[in-house]
Chain A
Amino acid sequence: MTYKNPPTTPRKSATFDDYTLSEIRRAAQTGIYDIRGAGAKRKLPHFDDLLFLGASISRYPLEGYRERCDTSVVLGSRHAKKPIELKIPITIAGMSFGSLSGPAKEALGRGATLSGTSTTTGDGGMTEEERGHSKQLVYQYLPSRYGMNPRDLRRADAIEVVVGQGAKPGGGGMLLGQKISDRVAEMRTLPKGIDQRSASRHPDWTGPDDLEIKILELREITDWEKPIYVKVGGARPYYDTALAVKAGADVVVVDGMQGGTAATQEVFIENVGQPTLACIRPAVQALQDLGMHRKVQLIVSGGIRNGADVAKALALGVDAVSIGTAALVALGDNDPRWEAEYNALGTTAGAYDDWHEGRDPAGITTQDPELMKRVDPIAAGRRLANYLKVMTLEAQTIARACGKNSLHNLEPEDLVALTIEAAAMAGVPLAGTNWIPGKNGF
């Protein structure tokens, strides 16, 4: 009788997994790096790794639906004559006309306005659709300065100086030729159909001392009326926040690596920057060290999905959050109803991220006149407003359970972490212990 070696199950490498192998083959075939939209897709320590404690003997809860739980927030009270007053602490992040269709921008404005919050322009300048339909509109001041003009600065409700974004701290923008329609080309003063490279740094200032002078100029142009935000990617949140405050910002926006982009290299999105959760406490600490916490407001974005995320961010010391990807999903992005068309593009609903190609079946990240008709700005705006309402109610539910009559009264002491990583990043105890990694020498 001959002995036969038992066969082993074929084993794939954890290092060279299917995705990695497919990317090597794609790179070898095309000779160009992978460009895509959205933010980091890898698993990261996030708000899911935190839990609220709720009320107990030492803390009594507030009655759900009955006792008041305030959600309002004022942004820009430090220097601006006309700060922004929002009914909810959830704003819509900057997304450009060009990367998004006109109806999508209008829907964002409508949804935000119905909810008493602000929306934000993007790299393509201000459009009539969004100005007309946004009660409170934040006008981004970007390195490219596409479409920048003093009239729009003055009809904005706030100005956001964009230094970086979470998906690509230190990277510029990219809008590929297929999305450069006549209208987009005209707003950006560039020929139709060419790839547009948005600069990675501002053309007329570098460093915090220059930024202070730049902010002074913007204030002088707008007669000190508008709140001035400074937005940074989640790179060095402690120092970036401190330097933004020093430069005179009214509001600091910190965008973690889960924050989306219209188009950037996959390698950049997944390998540069810090997770949103890791950015919050250093940014809050910088404000506290300067005695400016709650005087300069902090907005955090990148992977905010529901009211629990909002409540957790606020408990860690944030004044408001901002949503981009989630807002697009509320409008209809990646909806399974377009599954057949996603399949035709070689992808599936929920995974579609080739926003730069301009062939979005949902009609949101496109300039194709036929595709963009799929977005009804009134209905999509309503969906966004519904979603914002649900998030707000969820956050209030948690806050009341923690005995808070304002979302802004939530505090780190209401939280524990499920993992050591999250405990260290958020500066809250590991569940079931009083251990905060990094505190007290341990």
Chain B
Amino acid sequence: MPATTMPKAQSDQSHARVFDLAEHSLRELNQALHKLTPGSNETAWEVLHPRGSHSVAVGVDQPVSIDVRGSVGYYCAGMNDGATITVHGSAGPGVGENMMSGQIIIKGDASQYAGATGKGGLLVIEGNASSRCGISMKGIDIVVHGNIGHMSAFMAQSGNLVVLGDAGDALGDSIYEARLFVRGKVESLGADCIAKEMRPEHIALLQGLLDKAGVTGVKASEFKRYGSARTLYNFNIDNADAY
């Protein structure tokens, strides 16, 4: 990317440690992030010229903030454990996969499997997310401002998936105990996924997630809740048609 069109660093990042992937390797970046110890002064990082690189800022386990200026490839912020990672662009497949804790914010769109198998933390996608968003999620919270694609929350075990827009086909197929909140329309529900009543505790939970994700002008009461009918939890031959 020519220097003239490069996004400018935000003012609050003026003291950030700048790491330019046009000059240094991905391995150097990740190793520098892994060397951080609790209490390190280097709490703000800025990554320039990611240019679609895979595995940017993976396995970070300290509560630092990392601003990635541009779009990234696969598995950005994979297994994040405590960092706040913001991608000022779009993200390829598997962003935030298996996140343990912390926060990931995608300013653009996210490709397939966003937040796959995530155990904790918050993933915010300000654009749309593609298919299989939140697949096999295990405790992560995901908030998508736009729409999500088909087979999202497949075999989702726990955590919350919030969608301000629409959801594609087979939402929540074979879902376990995860909660799904969708504001727009759902193309179709997957096996064993049903619409559920929005009780006050769900409204409160959802409002908290919307606040945490910085969503304004949207009320929790505008969403519908979906979850498991729990009919497939123990194998029964009479349910074979559902598989």
* Chain A positions near chain B (C-beta within 8 angstroms): 30-32, 144-145, 148-151, 153, 176-177, 188-191, 193-195, 197, 199, 203-205, 210, 213-214, 216-217, 220-224
A-B contact pairs, 8 of them (CB 8 A): A32-B235, A144-B136, A145-B136, A150-B61, A194-B234, A213-B55, A217-B75, A220-B55
**Min distance, Cβ A219 to any Cβ of chain B, angstroms:** 8
**Identity of the chain B residue whose Cβ is nearest the Cβ of A194 in the assembled complex:** B233
Contact in complex: A204, B233 (CB < 8 Å)? no
Which of B55, B75, B174, B234 is A204 in contact with, Cβ under 8 Å? B75
B46 contacts the other chain (CB 8 A): no
For the complex of A and B, 5 pairs with smallest distance between CB atoms: A221-B59, A204-B94, A194-B233, A145-B117, A31-B237
B169 contacts the other chain (CB 8 A): no
What number of residue pairs across chains A and B have CB atoms under 8 A from each other? 105
Contact in complex: B58, A221 (CB < 8 Å)? yes
* Chain B positions near chain A (C-beta within 8 angstroms): 26-27, 30-31, 34, 54-55, 58-59, 61, 73-75, 78-79, 81, 93-94, 97-98, 100, 112-113, 116-117, 119, 132, 135-136, 138-139, 154-155, 157-158, 174, 176-177, 233-235, 237
Contact A217-B58, Cβ < 8 Å, known A32-B237, A191-B177, A204-B93: yes
Contact in complex: B176, A150 (CB < 8 Å)? no
Contact in complex: B174, A197 (CB < 8 Å)? yes
Contact in complex: A189, B158 (CB < 8 Å)? yes
Q: Interface residues of B: mostly helix, strand, loop or mixed?
A: loop
Contact in complex: A177, B234 (CB < 8 Å)? yes
Known: A145-B136, A189-B158. 6 other contacts (CB 8 A): A148-B98, A150-B61, A190-B157, A195-B233, A199-B136, A220-B30
Q: What separation, in Å, do the CA atoms of A145 and B174 have in the docked complex? A: 16
Which of B31, B119, B235 is A149 in contact with, Cβ under 8 Å? B119
Q: Interface residues of A: mostly helix, strand, loop or mixed?
A: loop
List of B residues within 8 angstroms of A176 by Cβ = 235
**Min distance, Cβ A34 to any Cβ of chain B, angstroms:** 13
Q: What separation, in Å, do the CA atoms of A10 and B74 have in the docked complex? A: 66
Which of B73, B79, B93, B135 is A221 in contact with, Cβ under 8 Å? B79
List of A residues within 8 angstroms of B30 by Cβ = 220-221, 223
Contact in complex: B136, A149 (CB < 8 Å)? no
Contact in complex: A203, B176 (CB < 8 Å)? no
Residue among A176, A199, A220 having the largest count of chain B Cβ atoms under 10 Å: A220
List of A residues within 8 angstroms of B237 by Cβ = 30-32
List of B residues within 8 angstroms of A224 by Cβ = 27
Q: What separation, in Å, do the CA atoms of A145 and B135 have in the docked complex? A: 11
Contact in complex: A149, B54 (CB < 8 Å)? no
